[in-house]
Chains A and B, each alone.
Chain A
């Protein structure tokens, strides 16, 4: 199996640790950030294959994080939003069109579904 590098961005430490455990059990390596600023300070160096990004976090908004990534020419990095926030289909399509958001997983998630959707993007 191909090993990939994932970045997990979630202000909830328990959720971040849980995602890390799940992803590393699939043979991938991970890095955790607890807010957008920390994530942006590391993403260029870490060069992840996929980012699991929470939407509701203190500090930088998702829009600011995505804009910063584009500005730093990191807009090609795949992003899965992992969040309690509910979007409409139109909003999700717009996010996919304007950014490299490839999927949207709602919390609480089903473990098998989560693993399969992450795998699909790697």
Chain B
């Protein structure tokens, strides 16, 4: 019974990933669905839904549309809708029903392109793939459409991979603070808090910081096309914050650390080698937290696991977690392995799966799993993250 979920919901799906990535870019986003799909996205996957407007529309497919097809009619409606809102681009997003009835989203985009002077981005998402793939597709489409080589040079970086599905707004704010405190300026976020005009200038930056696996493809794309180097990781704890910051300032990480230490910003070095840790999260978070536990706290036995389907993200080997979990039963086995003394992951694991209460559980909410249930914390980030983890691991 591979597909049976007894305790957890499935992760957010690809179309939610696309919507999330495009949410703040001002485009006219049309989800081709019977309404329920957008509702799931709005209600569960999108924390910004209540506070921030976005031009996300649902096509409201009905049974007759599924039987007879109505691409031309939809195309005309979207065109006339665009006339009203004059958005800088149009995105067409597929869901399970269009995928099932073989609706050609790319062809629909082509029809619309003939009538509007703005880019029309088709996404043949199906609701069966992972949200990371959706975000990744959206980033690549944006880069492909809006980025071009430029002679302008911006002494700063882009943050890539910031969507609420992976990184909450509070951790993102902390990442900004950490980078800016270290003299690294940020041109724009891809794409939480980002702006399409700024994003279009992304090719002028001197570096990219990839903070979730969904951002990796576009970072590679920008490296290949514009020669922009990238670093992967979330600045969690002392060692990784230094490593990430020094990668952008061009300093040797050790010299960087010494200089920072002289500034009096190096926290007291404490270790917790007695622990054996399991991290279950998105791959970049797993890797970053693992680095923090190994280097900041000398925890030698750190295992990582993810529920994300990473098969199409072309992740380098060091980003691939030890356990890529596809079946809930496997997760239950891994998480209840008595050898782990610390578990870091979504609070839903603790509430629904974890059987032993005598182990330390450090919650890190993952919206793509637990939706809006839990509040995100930015306390993991930067040097403060070291202090926070130190406190929790005692």
Do chains A and B interact in one complex? no
